[in-house]
Amino acid sequence: MLVSLTIESVAIMVHREIIDIDMVWELMGGVVLSTWDRLRDWSDSYRRASGREKFDEWYQWLAARLEENYSGPKAEPAFRRFARWQPPPR
């Protein structure tokens, strides 16, 4: 439930353009996608049992948007994509 509530909140903020979806992708995109893969069936089951289709609605929405928009080069992990990155000189 804690994971669901956290990601639901982030997803609503993305939808309302309070948080940029690119930032969410960088900060937690992999976590959102991997946890949604594991929780999808549980969420569907909870929706049926409780009669509440709104449960995890924004979590599902965010996972779908991330899957649609972040494939190919953007899906490459940061440890590879930025392997040569160095902080600016001080």
Residue 73 confidence (pLDDT) = 64
Supply the pLDDT for residue 8. 96
pTM, two decimal places: 0.84
Grade residue 51 by pLDDT with cuts at 50, 70 and 90. very high
Distance CA 90, CA 63 (A): 39
3-state secondary structure of 87: coil
7: left (phi over 0), alpha (psi -120 to 50) or beta: alpha
Helix, strand, coil percentages for the chain (3-state, nearest 5): 70, 0, 30
